[in-house]
Amino acid sequence: MRHICVIGDSSTAALKAGWAEIAANHQGTRLTFFASPGESLRTLELSGRCLITNDDGVAASFAMTSGGLSVIDLDDYDEIWIAGLGVTPASSVEVYADFRSEEHVNLGDDQVLVSQQAFDLMVKGRIRNSAAVALARRLREVVGTVQIISRPLPCEDIVSDDPAWAAAVGDDASSLVDSFGRGVREVADNTVPVYTQPAVVSASPLTTKRDYSTDAIALDLVTKSPDADLWHMNSKFGVEVLREILPSHGESSEKSALAPAPCGCSSLCSPAMLQHPASPFADYLKEARRRRDQARSTWVVMANVTCPRAVEMVQYVASARRMFVLWSTPNAGEVQLPTWCQLHQWSPGERGQEDAAQQVSSMCDTRAADIVVDCNARSDTYAALSHLVEKSGRGYLAITESSPASEWWRLSAELCLDMATHQIGRRDVIMDDRHIWATWAPGMPRADFPILGDLRSDMIDTFAPAGSAG
């Protein structure tokens, strides 16, 4: 039984109501909610391994939402989720009300006009100063797994109520979401992962479909929010968010039969273990992230990706400002990619390696690429891409799986790219470490990948999960 503690503001009500509807389908998981309105959770203090509050109102609210508990004993939980508490893409819009970046489409007239860097710093400030990040930083010192679930975006009706929202949603939504993403990467990602609401509930990048705010409820799960309340959501919203998050934490998905670790090998495969302070990966990840945050304007060429989230994740992990995506799937046009991605169809392997290499050369100047990511690696594409990397003299090739939209994939990609970016391992070819390979390609013919034989023995000794295939 995995026991998850959810600490949050009033937006937690939707999660709690959603959980009530799907808990029966998740027998291996238990969620306990500790919620209190607004910023009141800034009163929480760590006392030993307990979170306590001296605010009677917060204590009473905790007791109501948790089923009688007013103190959070961290040892009772496997994971801590922080819901809302100021982390939301809406932060960008709140800055947008008073400031505009020169890169925005709608420059307004009354707002202070600044560079994109200055605008991003303000959004970063909103995230940095949030109660969620403050709480997460304290918790990360004492617990292994902490994550933030961003506050719901407002109902789409907000565009008729608020000029700033109307302008933002109408003209600058993508830019504002990107600002939030960069801010999260610089602030929260050093502490905890941040999950934003799934696309299925969103009316736009900055709003939620009306259907999910109708009959929104309060923390007592009884009181209905007023019709004019555009910021709180209903149980359907909670269900969709939990469906998005739970599979990525080792929970069986209701929508997919994909297991997070298909090889089913050791417990080292679990994301929680990877991030646990005792994990041999923990220090490495911390250092890699620190270095990554210093990197800017990485150019990534990504080939054979089959999942749009994989593109987003690589962009996120590699701090990529330019991406060139070589798409081999027939439905590439249906996938929503960031506008700054250049998307090209290609057909590797049909006419041999040289032809594949020629295709890439004709489509993009890989001499400028910092990282080449070969997803779903096959011998022919691997050979073509590594040939180009070799020619570039400065690029690094990462190989990874791209399919399941899971936390597990994110971690494997992150490890690969950190290695690629920071030259850990071989210069020309960076293999996802033995652990990742063993996890994701247990059936892959090793002979197809001569580089596997070149893996550093110390990495194999250190990171190979027990029982993994050799």
Contact set with another protein (CB under 8 A): 86, 91, 94-95, 98, 102-103, 107, 109-115, 117-118, 121-126, 128-129
- Of 62, 48, 59, 45, nearest to 7 by C-alpha is 62
Q: Which helix H or strand E contains 114, and what residues bound it?
A: strand 112-114
Q: Smallest gap, in angstroms, from Cβ of residue 70 to another protein?
A: 25
By beta-carbon proximity to another protein, the closer residue of 4 and 134 is 134
Report CA 260 to chain centroid distance, whole Å: 15
| 214, burial (CB in 10 Å: exposed 0-12, middle 13-18, buried 19+) | middle
Q: Smallest gap, in angstroms, from Cβ of residue 323 to another protein?
A: 21
Q: How far apart are CA 110 and CA 99, in angstroms?
A: 8
Report CA 458 to chain centroid distance, whole Å: 30
By beta-carbon proximity to another protein, the closer residue of 123 and 388 is 123
Q: Smallest gap, in angstroms, from Cβ of residue 86 to another protein?
A: 8
Q: Give the chain's end-to-end CA distance (angstroms, integer).
A: 31
Q: How far apart are CA 454 and CA 433, in angstroms?
A: 11
Q: Smallest gap, in angstroms, from Cβ of residue 107 to another protein?
A: 7
By beta-carbon proximity to another protein, the closer residue of 93 and 216 is 93
Q: How far apart are CA 387 and CA 400, in angstroms?
A: 17
Q: Smallest gap, in angstroms, from Cβ of residue 111 to another protein?
A: 7
Burial track 87-113 (b if 16+ CB lie within 10 A, e otherwise):
bbbbbbbbbbbebbbeebeeebeebee
Q: Smallest gap, in angstroms, from Cβ of residue 11 to another protein?
A: 17
Q: Smallest gap, in angstroms, from Cβ of residue 134 to another protein?
A: 10
Q: Smallest gap, in angstroms, from Cβ of residue 141 to another protein?
A: 19
By beta-carbon proximity to another protein, the closer residue of 94 and 215 is 94
What is residue 388's three-state secondary structure?
Answer: helix
Helix locations, 254-347, DSSP H: 271-275, 280-292, 308-318
Q: Smallest gap, in angstroms, from Cβ of residue 118 to another protein?
A: 5
By beta-carbon proximity to another protein, the closer residue of 165 and 382 is 165
By beta-carbon proximity to another protein, the closer residue of 58 and 95 is 95
By beta-carbon proximity to another protein, the closer residue of 63 and 121 is 121
**What is the sign of the dihedral through the CA atoms of 307, 312, 146 and 131?**
negative
- Of 90, 108, 107, nearest to 173 by C-alpha is 90
Q: How far apart are CA 428 and CA 263, in angstroms?
A: 28
Q: How far apart are CA 159 and CA 155, in angstroms?
A: 9
Q: Smallest gap, in angstroms, from Cβ of residue 187 to another protein?
A: 9
By beta-carbon proximity to another protein, the closer residue of 27 and 117 is 117
Pairing of strands 194-195, 146-149: parallel
**What is the sign of the dihedral through the CA atoms of 459, 465, 467 and 470?**
negative
By beta-carbon proximity to another protein, the closer residue of 122 and 398 is 122
Phi, psi of 31 (to 5 degrees): -115, 130
**Cα angle for residues 365, 370, 376 (degrees, 5° grid):** 90
Q: Smallest gap, in angstroms, from Cβ of residue 129 to another protein?
A: 5
By beta-carbon proximity to another protein, the closer residue of 91 and 402 is 91
By beta-carbon proximity to another protein, the closer residue of 21 and 98 is 98
By beta-carbon proximity to another protein, the closer residue of 126 and 151 is 126
| 151, burial (CB in 10 Å: exposed 0-12, middle 13-18, buried 19+) | buried
Q: How far apart are CA 263 and CA 467, in angstroms?
A: 10
Integer angstrom CA distances of residue 455 from 64, 184, 193, 424, 458: 54, 33, 29, 11, 8
Q: Smallest gap, in angstroms, from Cβ of residue 174 to another protein?
A: 17
